[in-house]
Every structure is written in structure tokens, then in C-alpha cells.
Amino acid sequence: MAKPQPVNAAASLALKESFLEMMSVERGVSGRTIRNYGRDIDRFAAFLKKESKTVQEAKSDDIANYLAVLSANDYAPATQALCVSAFKQFYLYLYTEKIRPDNPAEHIERPKTRRGLPKVLSMEEVDGLLQMAAQPVPPETLKSRAKSDRLICLLEILYATGLRVSELVSLPKTAIQASREYISVVGKGNKERIIPLSDKAKEAALGYLEKSWAILCPEQVHCQKWLFPSRGKQGHLTAARFAQLLKQLAERSGIAPEKISPHVLRHAFATHLLEGGADLRMVQQMLGHASITTTEIYTHLQQERLRKIVSTHHPLSGKNTQ
């Protein structure tokens, strides 16, 4: 017969659940972040159990020792930094709720991480993807033509708006209106933003709705409110399925599949806008970034591309052999 769980361990589990509920309901934190926080706290609890401690009883040294174990096991600095973020939020919650008198994570420093520049497709590569998407996968049937129209619609909207993939696949059917030149999206933190829709994207979306939506829409009622309906539990196309379709399209277009993802097209949207002279604040608003610092990565990308161009083509670089 299994031993009953100690009362203090059960109490720590209840604290974790109440913390996660607070982060979800009061802070509007995404489901993915909630799952990551829960996972990191559970792993820390398993580490502490070997010392006969619970997360409620942990000291700063315990957190430091755990992070040292992660580092020794070659966990990436970014992974360690996310773990520290979870601890800082969790123990701040325990402190502010007067569950414990101190915050053992307050002075724990996040590992320094170097944020890599995002992968970006050229305008020519995006155009090549769109041209290839317009060619149905053989044998050509009414359904394969409809799937081609759907893929063009997905690509045009994504490249025209820079939506997160989760926002894109969960667009309601009502998001596209012939009388509107924009779409309204509820993003992270339940914040709504209005994004202009290009003529080309609007034309692709209206054409897909008119000719192909009904062909691909399942009979189940829960699927019929979505712009990109599917038989799955969610009722709409999943982010994973769209990513798979993109990689298949990349192969057909002669582009390395590992170079393509929905997020890469979001990067392309932002980068190409800035290259065209768009204001950084405007791009921030359309992307739904809470901080301008996040959007500034695209200015660094522009600088890096310019450096490579100068390095390759400047007559004094030593690489320009004409």
C-alpha cells in the first residue's frame, strides 16, 4: 500500500495550483507559459524531495543549487532563465500573499542569454511560396483546389498582418468582411489590436470564402464559426498542421524546409515593413509586442544584413572580385 503524501507536500501542491490559477485568471498569462511554470515548479519539487524539503520551504541556496545542476547537465541558458522567471513569480506570490516571510528568488540572477537574430525569408522567396501555393498538389480535384485556396489565404493573411500562428488559425469566419479593410485580433493577455489588411490578402480571403470554404468545412456545428475549419476537437486548423503544410510547400518551392515556419513568415512581415520605411512603433503595435525592446530585434537584423552586404560587395572588403 502506498504511503500517504505528507501534509506539507500536499500543501505545496495546492499552493502551486493556486499560483497558476492566479497567473491565468488575474494576469492573463498564456496557457503555454502556465504549463511551463507548472513543469518547472514540479521539477524543482522533485529535486527538493531528495533533501526532504518542499517548494514552500526552499531557500535561496536551494534554488542556486538546482540551477547549478541544470547548468552541469547542459541545459541552455535560455531554459535556465525561463526557470528563474517561474521561481521569481512563484515566490513573489507566496511573499505577497504572506504565505512565507521572504522571497528566496528575489536576488537570484537570470543566466545571460544572447538572443539570436530571427530567420527571415527574402521577398523573392515569399513570392515563390505564394506562386507555388497557387498550384494544387496533383491530382487536381475540387478538394485539392480548395486546399490550395486555403493555403494561399493563410499565407497572404500571415504575410500581410504578421499574426502569431495561434491567432491566424483561430480567426473566426467573421474576421473577413468585404466592407472592412482591417481585421481585429485578440492576442496575448486578451488584448485586442486592429491590423490593416492588404488588398491582396483581402482578395485571397474573400475568394477562399466564396469558392472553397464550404468544400473544406465539416458538418459539425462547432467547426463552422472558424475561417479555417477542421474536424479536430478545436474545430479549426491547428498550428502544427499549418506548419506541416508550410514545410511541404517549401520543399515544392525548392526552399530548405528547416528554413520555414509560420514564425519565420511573421519575421518576414516585420523585416520587410521596416525595410520599406515603416515606423518601429507601428510595427510593434501590429505584432502585438508589449515592449518596443522585443520589436527592436528587427532593427538589429537590418544592421546585420547591411553589414554582410558591405562586407561582400564593398571594393575594399577584399571579397569583391570583379
CATH of the domain at 17: 1.10.150
- Provide the domain limits for residue 35: 7-96
Residue 1 lies in a domain: no
Same domain? For 80 and 136 the reply is no
Q: Which amino acid is at 149?
A: D
Q: Which amino acid is at 86?
A: A
Predicted pLDDT of residue 232: 86
Same domain? For 140 and 246 the reply is yes
Same domain? For 151 and 269 the reply is yes
**Residues designated catalytic:** 164, 188, 263, 266, 289, 298
Residue 319 lies in a domain: no
Q: Which helix (H) or strand (E) holds 98?
A: none
Same domain? For 169 and 76 the reply is no
Residue 194, SS3 per DSSP: strand
Same domain? For 160 and 60 the reply is no
Same domain? For 146 and 264 the reply is yes
Same domain? For 71 and 127 the reply is no
Residue 268 lies in a domain: yes
Buried b (16+ CB within 10 A) or exposed e, 22-54: ebeeeeebeeebbebbbebbeebbebbeeeebb
Distance CA 8, CA 56 (A): 8
Terminus-to-terminus CA distance in the chain, angstroms? 81
Same domain? For 142 and 257 the reply is yes
Q: Give the long-range contacts of residues 94-102, CB within 8 A, separation 24 or more.
A: 94/15, 94/19, 94/56, 99/15, 99/56, 100/56
Residue 267 lies in a domain: yes
Predicted pLDDT of residue 79: 87
Predicted pLDDT of residue 213: 97
Predicted pLDDT of residue 83: 93
Predicted pLDDT of residue 113: 60
Residue 316 lies in a domain: no
Same domain? For 82 and 138 the reply is no
133, 151 in Cβ contact below 8 A? yes
DSSP β-bridge partners for residue 172: 226
Residue 195, SS3 per DSSP: strand
Same domain? For 178 and 290 the reply is yes
Residue 107 lies in a domain: no
Same domain? For 162 and 14 the reply is no
How many structural domains is the chain composed of?
2
Residue 111 lies in a domain: no
Closest CA to 87 of 45, 120, 116, 125: 45
Same domain? For 208 and 148 the reply is yes
CATH number at residue 232: 1.10.443.10
Distance CA 127, CA 239 (A): 22
Residue 290 lies in a domain: yes
Distance CA 177, CA 183 (A): 8
Mean pLDDT by 10 residues, the chain (322 residues): 48 87 86 92 93 90 92 85 93 92 91 63 92 89 95 96 94 94 87 92 96 92 93 92 95 91 91 87 88 76 54 53 46
Which residue's entry shows cell 473544406? Answer: 216
